[in-house]
Structure 1
Amino acid sequence: MPNKSYHHGDLKAELIRTGLKLLDQEGYEAFSLRKVAKACNVSQTAPYRHFKNKDELIIAIAMEAMGAFNECLQKAVDQHPDNPKKQLTEMGIAYIHFFVENPEYLRLLFLSDMRYKMNEYFCAHPEYFQNDHPFQTFFQTIERYKAAVPSSNQSLGKAELMLFSWGLVHGISILIANKEIPLEGDYLSMVRKIVESEKFLD
């Protein structure tokens, strides 16, 4: 079978897209640049023009996932610039929707053994995200909400609200993405009803 013809930049993007699928299917130990090259229908040496080893490709895959995740959250926030409560609820719904529709990202970032390696790398290289880290977007939205609500009306402190709201949407994401519970119909309508009815948002 003839090799596909890629522009230089296109091959890197294809290696990341295909690498994500293979990584999700095979796990870290069985994953290799050789297998990614074969799946992309390019020579075994082609990936080494962009990545020196499989760990470097995995980091690139993780950065792609984190970037897409953050873009999703930030878009939800930006739709309601003057309403911190609405920012928080819409971001929670967007969080769930993103991982239900992209379960391979959920498994990579939160449920795989590779998350420890990725966390170590990102802690050592904070410059890769700066203001574009999804969890920073999440925490900043919490802070805006807390600042906008009078302290006399707040039932939870900032740390408690972070833990509760993150735990809520993350738990729902895992249950739905992993099909742990049977759901019929529009799951997003159900999710919206749950998130918008939470009493911890005064």
Structure 2
Amino acid sequence: MVNESYHHENLKSELIKNGLKLLDEEGYENFSMRKVAKACGVSHTAPYRHFRNKDDLIIAITLKAEHKFNSSLQEAINRYPNDIKSQIKEMGYTYVKFFVENPEYLRLLFRSDLKKHLNNENCEILKDKVQPFGTFYNTIVRYQSENQSNDAGSITDLNALVLACWGLVHGIAVLISTKDFVYEGDYLELTRKILWSETFL
């Protein structure tokens, strides 16, 4: 017997939570509102009280993931309010930690083909709401503006600096979360050692 006792907002949260798990397991083609409803223990019509269709639910799942990711990056920045260099290092560590602890988010945001299936309107919604990458980018912009240097070895091109920082932490996150890099010790401590060394920034 289906459970219709969810509070209005609780059901919406459960649909997003279980929807993420199903989307990760099933992929876009096999994902359906009916399956999400079953996972939540409600009638197959209940999800439509909150979402028009499966694409609408997928957008909500993606925005929830980006909001959670962005919040973790912002918390990292807030730990060092007066030290932009430490902000970037801590943000990089948090970037890796977030995806290592939530590999389903890594697959959702970077390794899925959702944009191929979503219509242009939905793709624009996602494009306009990309908060975490704006947070990452803007922090590096502030770092560069505050640390202009004439050293020959410094990176003065903003795009090059963003790519170097993002490429490093994203690459580490992927290698650890997919277990392609085998290491007997603590992966996150190793990551912190790399990012807090003098060779990074």
Same fold (TM over 0.5): yes
The equivalent of 2:165 in structure 1 is: 165
CA RMSD of aligned residues (A): 2.0
Unaligned stretches of 5+ residues in structure 1: none
Aligned to 2:82: 82
Amino acid at match of 2:140: I
Distance 1:107 1:31 in 2: 15
> 4+ runs of 1 displaced by more than 6 Å?
none
Among 115, 139, 142, the alignment partner of 2:140 is 142
Aligned twin of 1:183 = 183
Task: Give the whole-Å Cα distance in 1 for the aligned partners of 2:72 and 2:31.
Answer: 28
- How far apart are the structure 1 equivalents of 2:68 and 2:158? 26
* TM-score, normalization by structure 1: 0.91
Structure 2 gaps of 5+ residues are: none
CA separation of 1:158 and 1:23: change in aligned 2, threshold 3 A: same
Is the 1:59–1:118 Cα contact (8 Å) retained in structure 2? no
2:115/2:123 contact within 8 Å kept: no
**The residue matched to 2:184 in structure 1 has which SS?**
coil
Partner secondary structure for residue 99 of structure 2: helix
Distance of 2:116 and 2:76 partners within structure 1? 28
Distance 1:151 1:122 in 2: 42
SS at match of 2:52: coil
CA distance in structure 2 between the aligned counterparts of 1:170 and 1:120, rounded to whole angstroms: 27
> Is the 8 Å Cα contact of residues 194 and 200 (structure 2) preserved in structure 1?
no
Q: Quote the Cα distance in structure 1 between the aligned partners of 2:57 and 2:126.
A: 18
Percent sequence identity over matched residues? 56
User: Within the alignment, does 1:155 sit opposite 2:154 as a pair?
Assistant: yes
Distance 2:118 2:107 in 1: 13
Residue 19 of structure 2: aligned partner: 19
State the AA in 1 paired with 2:139: T
How far residue 183 of structure 1 moved from its aligned partner, in angstroms, is 2.3
| Structure 1 residue 118: Cα displacement | 6.3
Matched, 1:53 2:63: no
Q: CA deviation at 1:186?
A: 1.7
